Amino acid sequence: MTFFPPFNLPQGIFLLITDALASPADFVLHRCLSAHLKEISKTKSGVEVEAAAVSMAVAILSVSESMARWKGVAGKSNVNLQSHIEGGSVEVINVFEEAQPRNANGGRNGDEERLKGVIERLRVSLARGDPVGGRKGEGEGEVNETSPGMKLVILDDISMLEWVGFDTTDVVRFARALRSVCTKANATLLVRHHIVTPGEPDEVFRHLLQLCTYHLEVLPLASGRSGSVSGEVALHPGFSAPKDGAKLIPRSAALQYRLTDTGAEFFAKGTSESVL
Amino acid sequence: MSSFKRKGKQALPSYSGTRVSPASNLSLITSTGISSLDDILGGGLPLSCSLVFAAPDIHSSYGELIEKYFVAQGLAVGHSICVVSEDPDGFMRDVMWFAKGQNTRNGNDSEEEYKSADQTQKVKIAWRYEKMKQFQTTTGDSDADSFCQVFELSSRVPEDLIEEALQIKRLHFVKVGSEDVSTAQILGKISSYIKTETSRPMRICIPGLGSAGWGDLGPQSVLHFLHSLRAILRRNAHGCASISLAPQLSTERWGGAGWMEKVGWASDGTMIVSGFSGR
């Protein structure tokens, strides 16, 4: 089973998404969320699920995106996010409500402990209930025998954690812990990181590259803004990418994309499909 | 009769000085007080959004001027205003207002008014420009009431208007610098003011964020402040904020490589306003 066409990435991976201010990659997160919820709904409609077995399908670790925007964009894809939240299949964890960076005097407020709280909350959420087709009665901490990718975890902005005062080491450890929790739960992990110094990778980015399975790079057009093309997307392997994995797309052959009301349309560079 | 029902438009609250965004019928926009800036923003500043202005020219006051227009517009259309500054009282008394003898003026002057103004005050300009029309933005104002008011730079807000606004709690001051007020406390005050007044839009105006009165703010503190302010606005959809950075904060030199991009990520929009000198 794959996700995010036309890249057709395998489930259960750690996908690092990088973007720039001129080409924000929030459309990738929204698209993956909507597609995953639609897939879950299709699966649930074919299998009887007991009323008590409410399983969490998506966990959104919210740092920068607003709930109104998540709901609004999901609505454009005919996904009622509010009902999924109320039904328990989507859980939104506000990272800043769970953790606060160091105080103004520079003293540590236990950054690592605060971010650990987010990990624990996520671990409990991932272990909650029964996924569709899984075994019943599993306790917390036991391996969840779901098929890979039935759960999706989205961290919409890891860069802001470092920028507002969390120590770089703690942010990296947080990412590592996220990876570990998601691997145990067979969940797909999406993490977005902003590149503000192109050509000079920052420390967090270097560590994320080591952890990720694939790196999806969303770039602005080198020639500036265009009304027909919003940007370019390239796919690179991470350190743990399998040899026979997804088809990689180097920067030289990056797919271009155009944002529309319903999402993004991808097309090969130099072609007129989706543009004309 | 068809059984299909059109999805009802989400009922938006009706506030004076706002209108439905042309880009999305789910959000309201309000004027910044500068019609050409509204034009750039696609009609105006959306409620629940924050806009940051960086003005790196140390010999100019572009940032403060934009904030004054923002406040003047809010006062004119009856919005609540919160000014966060080293000297909010002094800032307020320097805000521009309508020309003397006028209450409100339609943003799009009719030709007759333009002609009469032209006759009484003939400005000496080059002959080739005499027949050119007055500057007009692309955002036409089809409403009877003017969306963006027209202010006179040489006029000032009447003092009794300021006093009245303070008394009826339509105008709030948050002073930084004189007391040991932290950014967390400032955010707490903003949050309490915005939660208290929900019957009208609340404009948060922060001229000179990071100036001397703010103390020893580092890049992380500034970004944390902007990020937290944005979160407050998102929880209170009737508010909006206009922030101008102090000139020294408006350059990459201050915050390091990628500083202005980081400011852009921490807010809903960032504009750099600089002069042509030296370019």
Checking if the pLDDT of B141 tops 70, the result is no
Q: What DSSP designation does A249 have? A: B
Contacts of A66 in chain B (CB under 8 A): 234
Mean pLDDT of B220-229: 96
Checking if the pLDDT of A132 tops 80, the result is no
pLDDT digits (tens, 9 = 90+) for B50-71: 999 999 988 888 999 999 999 9
- pLDDT classification of A270: cutoffs 50, 70, 90: confident
* B225-244 residues touching A, CB cutoff 8 A: 227-228, 231, 234, 237
Disruptive mutation site among A156, A164, A193, A259 for chain B (greatest number of B CBs within 10 Å): A164
Checking if the pLDDT of A183 tops 90, the result is yes
Distance from CA of B258 to the nearest CA of A (A): 5
What stretch of H or E contains A43? helix A26-46
Chain A residue closest in CA terms to B222:
A164
Contacts of B223 in chain A (CB under 8 A): 160, 163-164
Q: Report the residue from A66, A96, A163 with minimal CB separation from B262.
A: A163
CA distances from B115 to A19, B15, B123 (A): 52, 34, 12
* Global confidence as pTM: 0.86
Contact B220 A64 (CB under 8 A): no
Interface check for B25 against chain A (CB to CB < 8 A): the answer is no
Interface check for A201 against chain B (CB to CB < 8 A): the answer is no
What pLDDT was estimated at residue B112?
44
Checking if the pLDDT of A52 tops 60, the result is no
Distance from CA of A36 to the nearest CA of B (A): 25
Shortest CA distance to B28 belongs to which of B9, B40, B14, B41? B14
Contact B234 A165 (CB under 8 A): no
Interface check for B262 against chain A (CB to CB < 8 A): the answer is yes
- Mean pLDDT estimate for chain B: 84
Contact A196 B261 (CB under 8 A): yes
Strand order, beta sheet including B239-245: B171-175, B80-85, B202-209, B239-245, B50-54, B269-272
What pLDDT was estimated at residue A19?
96
φ and ψ at residue B238, rounded to 5 degrees:
-95, 5
Burial class (CB in 10 A: 0-12, 13-18, 19+), B56: buried
Task: Identify the residue with better confidence: B142 or A71.
Answer: A71
Interface check for A66 against chain B (CB to CB < 8 A): the answer is yes
The neighbouring-strand residues paired with A10 are A2
Contact A163 B257 (CB under 8 A): no
Checking if the pLDDT of B136 tops 70, the result is no
- pLDDT classification of A49: cutoffs 50, 70, 90: very low
What is A2-44+54-131+144-224's CATH number, 3.30.470.20, 1.20.120.550, 3.40.50.300, 3.40.50.720? 3.40.50.300
Would you give the distance in Å from CA B219 to the centre of its chain?
Answer: 23
- pLDDT classification of A147: cutoffs 50, 70, 90: low
Contact B26 A72 (CB under 8 A): yes
Contact B221 A197 (CB under 8 A): no
Contacts of A163 in chain B (CB under 8 A): 219-220, 223, 262, 265-266
What pLDDT was estimated at residue B106?
44
> B217 near B210, Cβ under 8 Å?
yes
Interhelix angle B219-235/B259-266, rounded to 10 degrees, is 20
Mean pLDDT of A83-91: 91
Shortest CA distance to B199 belongs to which of B46, B3, B14? B14
Amino acid at A43: T
Checking if the pLDDT of A141 tops 80, the result is no
Checking if the pLDDT of A83 tops 50, the result is yes
CB pairs < 8 Å spanning A and B: 52
* A73-112 residues touching B, CB cutoff 8 A: 96, 101, 104
Checking if the pLDDT of A145 tops 60, the result is no
What pLDDT was estimated at residue B75?
95
CA distances from B265 to A30, A69, A90, A163, B39 (A): 18, 16, 26, 10, 22
ipTM of this predicted complex?
A: 0.86
Of chain A, the percentage scoring pLDDT greater than 70 comes to 81
Contacts of A197 in chain B (CB under 8 A): 257-258
> Residue B36 has which token pair?
């050409």
d(CA B152, CA A52) in angstroms, rounded, equals 66
Contacts of B266 in chain A (CB under 8 A): 160, 163-164
Among A129-143, A243-257, B172-186, which stretch is predicted with the lowest mean pLDDT?
A129-143
Checking if the pLDDT of B103 tops 90, the result is no
Q: Report the residue from A72, A164, A196 with minimal CB separation from B227.
A: A164
What pLDDT was estimated at residue B110?
44
Q: Report the residue from A21, A67, A72 with minimal CB separation from B264.
A: A21
Disruptive mutation site among B48, B217, B228, B261 for chain A (greatest number of A CBs within 10 Å): B261
Strand pairing class (B45-46; B28-30): antiparallel
Contact B265 A101 (CB under 8 A): no
What pLDDT was estimated at residue B92?
95
Checking if the pLDDT of A246 tops 60, the result is yes
Q: What DSSP designation does A82 have? A: H
Checking if the pLDDT of A272 tops 80, the result is no
Among A97-106, A160-169, A198-207, A214-223, which stretch is predicted with the lowest mean pLDDT?
A97-106
- pLDDT classification of A57: cutoffs 50, 70, 90: confident
Mean pLDDT of B217-237: 94
Contact B261 A159 (CB under 8 A): no
Ranges of H-type helices in A60-202: 67-76, 81-87, 95-98, 111-127, 159-163, 168-184
* CA count, 13 A, side-chain hemisphere, A182: 31
Chain A residue closest in CA terms to B262:
A196
Checking if the pLDDT of B7 tops 70, the result is no
- Mean pLDDT estimate for chain A: 83
Chain A residue closest in CA terms to B10:
A72
State the Cα torsion B265-B240-B230-B222 to the nearest 10°: 70
d(CA A14, CA A193) in angstroms, rounded, equals 13
Checking if the pLDDT of B107 tops 50, the result is no
Interface check for B261 against chain A (CB to CB < 8 A): the answer is yes
Contact A196 B257 (CB under 8 A): yes
> Residue B84 has which token pair?
């966060």
pLDDT digits (tens, 9 = 90+) for A61-72: 999 998 989 998
Tell me whether the omega of the peptide bond preceding residue A6 falls within 30 degrees of 0, making it cis.
Answer: yes
Q: Report the residue from A72, A165, A196 with minimal CB separation from B220.
A: A165
- pLDDT classification of A136: cutoffs 50, 70, 90: very low
d(CA B82, CA B238) in angstroms, rounded, equals 13
